[in-house]
Amino acid sequence: IATNEAKAMALAESFFPPPPSSSSIPHIAYPTIGKLLSTLVATNLSHIAEKHNMLPPGQFGGQPDCNTTDTMHLVVSRIKDAWCSGKVASALFSNMQGAFPNTIRDCLIHNMRECGIPTCYVHLAEWMLSNHQTHLKFDDFLSD
Report DSSP letters for 99-124, one per residue.
TGGG--HHHHHHHHHHTT--HHHHHH
**Torsion angle of alpha carbons 107, 115, 58, 53, nearest 10°?**
170
- Global pTM value: 0.48
**For position 139, what pLDDT does the model report?**
73
User: Is there a domain that residue 43 lies in?
Assistant: yes
Q: Is residue 64 part of a domain?
A: no
Which residues does the chain have with pLDDT short of 70? 1-33, 61-64, 94-103, 132-134
Asked if the structure places residue 80 within a domain, the reply is: no
Asked if the structure places residue 25 within a domain, the reply is yes
Q: What is the pLDDT of residue 125?
A: 85
Radius of gyration of the chain (CA): 21
- Whether 46 is in a domain gets the answer yes
Q: What is the pLDDT of residue 140?
A: 77
- Give the structural domain span for 6: 1-59+131-144
44 phi, psi to nearest 5 deg: -65, -45
Q: Is residue 50 part of a domain?
A: yes
Residue 79 falls inside a structural domain:
no
Please count the structural domains in the chain. Answer: 1
